[in-house]
Amino acid sequence: MSIEVRHLTHCYSEGSALSTVALEDVSLTIEDGEFVGIIGHTGSGKSTLVQHLNGLLKPSSGQILINGEDLNGEQVNRRALRQRIGLVFQYPEYQLFEETVARDIAFGPKNQGLSKEAIDERVRYAMDCVHLDYQKYSERSPFELSGGQMRRVAIAGVLAMRPSVLILDEPTAGLDPRGRDRILSMLEELHSREKTTIVMVSHSMDDMARLATRLVVMKDGKILATGTPREIFSREALMLSAGLGVPAASRLCGALRQKGFDLPADLYRMEELREHLLRLWRHTGSEAGKGGPAC
Amino acid sequence: MLNNITMGQYYPVDSRVHRLDPRIKLILTIAFIVAVFLAHSFVGYVILAGFLFLSCRLACVPFRLLLKGLKPLRMIIILTFLLNLFFTPGDDVWVSFWIVRITREAFLQALFYSLRLVFLVAGTSLLTLTTSPIALSDGIELLLTPLKKIHFPAHELAMMMTIALRFIPTLLEETDKIMKAQMARGADFESGNLLSRARAMVPLLVPLFVSAFRRAGDLALAMESRCYHGGEGRTRLRVLKITRSDWIACGVLAVLLGLIILEGIVLKGVLF
Ligand SMILES: Nc1ncnc2c1ncn2[C@@H]1O[C@H](COP(=O)(O)OP(=O)(O)O)[C@@H](O)[C@H]1O
Ligand SMILES: [Mg+2]
């Protein structure tokens, strides 16, 4: 499923005194199988953009094309479409409402009109995806779980609809490192195993460095740049002008290069930085017959 | 979705009327309402209208905003007009067909009573347009303070009002967000019969209540950790003071009331 955004502009409370332009002439294409990361400072319009991708917000002007068809066209069944383009809101744990975890996750599939067996199968699948044990948790109340678990239940509620595109708005915000890692590895798995197209909004450059195949940098309702993480993260000045930082590995790499280490400028993942450093260390080690360069 | 609801109608500019003490403004509004009921003829109404118009100018509030406050009540005003028009007895018949009889007296009375509603609404709108909700609940608290003697919880009432006002926009925002989140899971809030629509509200209301209770708990904790313990012995950061312009405003209202009473005595039965 490809999503194409064409010259999208969105104004909140259009025509009133409080009218704010949240998006201005945004164009973007999301291809099948991509993992797109949307980054930007608070208020740059990320959430507004992703809510357009499944028709929850209507553009003030511009279009969103799903497989070439206008999302806001007359005869499009947006309710059905929303189930194929799953959107996980920010702090999704606040939308849980059912008495048990299983019933909450079943809400989406039930709205799809599936049979009882199919719903049950979907619930098991979704709980498996988010690494929640069906036996242990399905009959628990979602309100007595920990914050990280609640969030995974909420994400499972969207996954249970088996969307072909999954959009997540800051899925790791406010979680402890373990909860965050759980969600990220779950997304990684979903992307590589199920070939789900994923669009993720995040503040964390390290999350993006780990997962995204393409980055979209937003500033003041406009797209500042798009490109692979390697291209984007090597442009530190661009990132700073968008009010963002670069991943820890990029920063470390930059500092080491200033100290005279012979490293490429565009490293952004910890693993590759470690590889390079190890190679450098072995190299100099074999030349000088002792340890690496002194720091 | 919910963005067509604007909260309150406070019109934030800085004017003499805005700066008046909220207590005084509340009392003056009550005095104005009394004046509206005391007016006996259209002459009185002209005086009242002149007063409203001038206050509006002085408050730097567009007159059309004052009239906008009438919109939600237009059905009641029209109904009042029609009921009076058709069911007031009179002699000077203007129109008469079938069972309908419209007389001059009925027309004047219909106009009189519907205009009374218009004045009442416009007068109170002027209060809410020029007084922020917070100042208003402050004023109400202070006016009700004497009732504390008979254990009336004036402070608690005003605090509740202030908090409720503070949280209305937050809860609206929250409702909008939860609604969208459930729609993203295929919820349908718009179609179906009454029963299925009521059932569709459950996924909206449960999270909303949960979050309202959570917020209430957090707020109570935050207030207690700053040593809040009710109104007993509590002092204020901004003490309301009666200034000269407050006295002037009182004087103006007194003159208005006097005029209206005079009009009632002099013109009694002239137009009616
Ligand atoms: N419901 C709303 N009503 C009015 N303005 C809004 C609303 N939601 C967001 N905005 C405004 O739109 C802009 C973009 O917001 P948002 O898309 O939430 O940014 P981000 O998710 O990048 O932090 C901000 O200036 C914000 O104040
Ligand atoms: Mg956001």
Instruction: Provide the shortest C-alpha distance from residue B192 to chain A (in Å).
Output: 13
Domain that holds residue B23: 1-131+242-272
Q: Which residues of B touch A158 (CB under 8 A)?
A: 184-185
How many distinct structural domains can be found in chain A? 1
Q: Is residue B227 one of the residues assigned to a domain?
A: yes
Q: Does the beta carbon of B203 lie under 8 angstroms from any beta carbon of chain A?
A: yes
Q: Do A89 and B184 touch (CB under 8 A)?
A: yes
pLDDT of B153 reads 86
Question: Which pLDDT does position B7 carry in this prediction?
Answer: 43
Quick: pLDDT tens for B138-153: 888 888 888 888 888 8
Domain-located, residue B251? yes
Q: Helices (DSSP H) in chain B: which residue ranges?
A: 16-19, 22-38, 42-58, 63-68, 74-87, 104-130, 133-144, 154-184, 194-200, 202-225, 244-267
Question: Which residues of chain B have a pLDDT value below 50?
Answer: 1-7
Task: Compute CA distances A29 → A2, A50, A232, whole Å.
Answer: 7, 13, 17
pLDDT tens digits for range A266-282: 888 888 899 999 998 88
In this structure, the answer to whether residues B246 and B235 fall within a common structural domain is: no
What whole-number distance in Å separates Cα of residue B14 and Cα of residue B20?
Answer: 11
Residue A182 lies in a domain: no
Distance from CA of B196 to the nearest CA of A (A): 13
Within 8 A of B174 by CB-CB distance, chain A residues are 94
CA nearest A104 in B: which residue?
B203
Helices (H), A133-176: 134-137, 147-159
Nearest by Cα to A2 from A165, A162, A163, A161: A165
Q: Are B207 and B179 in contact (CB under 8 A)?
A: no
Minimal-distance CA residue to ligand 1 atom 5: A12
Residues B23 and B127 in one domain: yes
In a domain, B142, yes or no: no
Residue B192 and residue B260 in one domain:
no
Residues of chain A whose pLDDT is less than 50?
289-292, 294-295
Query: Which chain B residue shows the shortest CA-CA distance from A93?
Result: B207
DSSP label at residue B72: G
Say yes or no: B45 and B75 in one domain: yes
Nearest-CA neighbor of A126 among A164, A156, A101? A156
- CB-based contact B207 A112, cutoff 8 Å: no
* B188: closest chain A residue by CA: A79
The shortest C-alpha distance from B174 to chain A (Å) reads: 10
CB spacing of B186 vs A79 below 8 angstroms: yes
User: pTM to 2 decimals?
Assistant: 0.77
Which chain B positions have a beta carbon within 8 Å of A126's beta carbon?
none
Number of domains comprising chain B: 2
List chain B residues with CB under 8 Å of A87: 181, 184
In a domain, B91, yes or no: yes
Say yes or no: B91 and B216 in one domain: no
If asked whether residues B68 and B80 sit together in one domain, one would say: yes
Nearest CA distance, B168 vs chain A (angstrom): 17
- Which of B182, B188, B202 has its CB closest to that of A95? B182
Question: pLDDT value at position B4?
Answer: 36
Test the B interface: residue of A97, A159, A165, A168 with most B CBs within 10 Å? A97
β-strand pairing of A85-88 with B100-103: unpaired
- Measured distance CA(A260)–CA(A133) in Å, rounded: 50
Q: Which of A8, A20, A44, A203 to mutate to test the pocket of ligand 1 (most atoms within 8 A of CB)?
A: A20
pLDDT at site A170: 93
B219 and B182 housed in the same domain: yes
Residue B272 confidence (pLDDT): 54
Residues B36 and B48 placed together within one structural domain of the fold: yes
In whole angstroms, give the CA distance from residue A290 to residue B1: 69
Q: What is the pLDDT of residue A76?
A: 83
Strand partners, B103: B93
Same domain as B198, residue B76: no
Q: How many CB pairs under 8 A join A and B?
A: 60
B62 and B21 housed in the same domain = yes
The set of protein residues with a Cβ atom below 6 angstroms from ligand 1 is: A 12-13, 20, 22, 40, 42-48
- Specify whether B92 is located in the same domain as B211: no
pLDDT value of residue B225? 94
Question: Does residue B169 sit within a domain?
Answer: yes
Domain residues for A256? 247-287
- Whether residues B221 and B192 share a domain: the answer is yes
Q: Is there a domain that residue A216 lies in?
A: no
The pLDDT assigned to A37 comes to 96
